[in-house]
Structure 1
Amino acid sequence: MSEEEQRLPGGNVGGAVRVGDTVRRSTGPWTPDVHALLRHLAGRLPGVPRVLGYDEAGREVLSYLPGRVPDIDTETLTPGQLTALVRWTRAFHTAVAGFPLAGAWRYFPMPDATLIGHNDIAPYNACFDGDELVGVFDWDLAGPSNPLMELAFVAWNGVPLWRDDGPETAAARLRLIADAYRGYAPERILRAVPDRIRIMLDGIPVAAAAGDRGMANLLAQGEPERSRRSLADLERRLPAIERSLAQSRRARRQLSGK
């Protein structure tokens, strides 16, 4: 007797079902390259699903990652969770170094690509045990990117910058991201966010018109217009966040005696 399928929450682009200890998802031209990436990461990076093949319906079969997925509509990542997610991102970028950029990737062209990124690192694609990150899933959008663009998207969703929680809160969480990753100042991450989000918003209708059903689903849900409004609001708030970052930088220097 086959195990019962359980629809997993979320999945605005495509969706997935759980069958026992596996996850089943629809495939696309990008799937073989995504599977090659996941096999490359196996043993190099924790919290990555294992590729188990395909089922009788032609869906990919991946290992199920246990843990709790935060509800982005009602929750904000704790500082511990955000730190864990960013440290995992740094470890991922180390593990993926040298993996070929060429492939039938699904995601939109990214400028100055230096590595294969996940391209959708966000609370809705991560599962936690308390503050411990135990998995990052939904790799269909993996493709050429660079570390700054990945961090910009983490900031958009993890601060989060798509809503207004006040400039001081935004600045503090941007500093947390920068401190956890190391190598990029919080101001630089902040300034990269608008360009990163525009790449996504401009790409959704193009991909939908080319036949990507997942991107068509996003159009039906009100994208990219919904996120364009959030981005316009962020751009109005950028000066206040930058001032808060500058003030905190001065305060840190005073405390350190520099």
Structure 2
Amino acid sequence: MLEVRTLLRSVLTVKKLPVMSSQIAGMKYFPPPKKYENIEYPERLKLKIMEKVPQLPSNIKPPKMQKRLRYMRGPETVHNQLIHKQYGIIATGGGRLRYEHFEIIRLGIIRKMVPNRMFAIWRVDAPWQPVTKKGQGQRMGGGKGAIDHYVTPIKAGRVIVEMGGHCEFAEVKRMLELIVNKLPFAAEVVSQEILDKKYAEEERLNKINLNTWNFEYIIKNNMGGCGKWLSPFDHRWFGKYR
């Protein structure tokens, strides 16, 4: 019993040493701000309102047109690069833009862009291709129906809208992603850096590819008699576009 008491006294009488704490404050290095050089602003900074119906002279009757799906098939060979080398929306599949889609794009950008610091330009034409439709309950025959609305056909790789100015990609990305989700075809938000990396990666893969049995080689040599059942568009674009 005496040993236990002495042990407790020794524990209670132990002096608590103070805990030494030290703070180390260092210098924080931030990257230098981005320099916006050689940026050319267009005359009009905001997107203009597109015409819902093309304006024709009074003595010309609005012409009707067939579907002409070739306007939406295949890759875009002209308007597939960013003019201002900054940001934009590029279609990854074919489709049609109606007047309502133009308004979704215009209002979605104008309401969120910073004035006098950002700009946006159209890279597509106003609706010009007529789409006919017959009234509900009409029988087949009787000629082609009346014009219901106008559309703008889009091919894969076409630049829809382009943005730029004194802004970074993070400021524009979320704004344009909300618009991409509302378009009637597949599209993506890109910057000039993303496009450069994409093209460089495609060239690299083509150089290091050791497999000669690609889709183009199979089609050109009619292996397995594939030329009988393949589409004419597969012979033209080798399975990349429909």
Q: Under TM normalisation by the shorter chain, which class is it?
A: under 0.3
TM-score, normalised to structure 1, is 0.21
TM-score, normalised to structure 2, is 0.22
> Which is greater in Rg?
2
Q: Which has the higher contact order (CA 8 A, sep 6+)?
A: 2
